[in-house]
Amino acid sequence: MNLLKEKILEEGHVLSANILKVDSFLNHQMDPVLMYKIGEEFAKRFEGEIITKVLTVEASGIAAALMTGLVLGVPVVFAKKKKPSTMDGAFFSGRIHSFTKNETVDIVVASKYLKSEDRVLIIDDFLATGEAAKGMIEIARQAACHLVGVGICIEKSFQDGGKQLREIGVRVETLVSINALTNGKVDFV
């Protein structure tokens, strides 16, 4: 997706060989026009699929997931990183490790929002080691949903998360894939 590549080149900051900071337009401050275009692109990539819910994890995936849900005309569910005291009844859970925050958290979704008849599209901002995607896939598995696929805004293909997901048969659609982050520069695939 050229618009996202351009934003990365203009406003992204390479902090290390593993970290690309895109908080000025994607995951802290958000560019609403870009986010809508991302939603349109995911809808186009999964055209022809029956999708009844979009699933993401708080907080960075919410904007892209919401715009995708808007374009598709389906509800968006986000996994919470801490079970709130107001979440009564059954819930589904997964465990994820955040590379950038260096923490492991349990994520939860109230069972009333995901049903076995749902056809779920997972959307997230980054794919690196695949931890967040695997946690959301586990939630979809517990709910006995049909996983349509995973849509990723930016994949760090030099890390093995995407490879692992594809090897287990998960359809992964990536808008921008990065080969390397070296000498302060982004090398796109």
Q: Please count the structural domains in the chain.
A: 1
Render pLDDT for 89-128 as a digit per residue (tens, 0 to 9).
789 989 988 776 788 888 999 999 999 999 999 999 999 9
Render pLDDT for 22-50 as a digit per residue (tens, 0 to 9).
999 998 999 999 999 999 999 999 999 99
Q: Residue 17 — φ and ψ, nearest 5°?
A: -70, -10
User: Is 178:155 a contact under the CB 8 Å cutoff?
Assistant: yes
Give the mean pLDDT of the chain. 94
Tokens of 106: 């349990």
Q: Name the DSSP letter for residue 128.
A: S
58's CB contacts (< 8 A; 6+ apart) are 78, 79, 80, 81
> At 50, which CATH number?
3.40.50.2020
116's CB contacts (< 8 A; 6+ apart) are 143, 144, 145
For residue 5, is pLDDT > 90? Answer: yes
The dihedral over CA atoms of 152, 27, 61, 172, expressed in degrees to the nearest 10, equals 10
Give the pLDDT score at 101. Answer: 73
Give the pLDDT score at 122. Answer: 98
Render pLDDT for 70-79 as a digit per residue (tens, 0 to 9).
999 999 999 9
Render pLDDT for 142-155 as a digit per residue (tens, 0 to 9).
999 999 999 999 99
Tokens of 11: 């406003």
Smallest CA-to-CA distance from 82 within 74, 73, 91 is with 91
Instruction: Determine the Cα–Cα distance for residues 74 and 57; give it in Å rounded to an integer.
Output: 17
Instruction: Determine the Cα–Cα distance for residues 146 and 70; give it in Å rounded to an integer.
Output: 20
Structural domain including 32 reads 2-188
For residue 85, is pLDDT > 70? Answer: no
Give the pLDDT score at 102. Answer: 80
CB hemisphere CA count around 118 (13 angstroms): 26
Whole-prediction pTM: 0.94
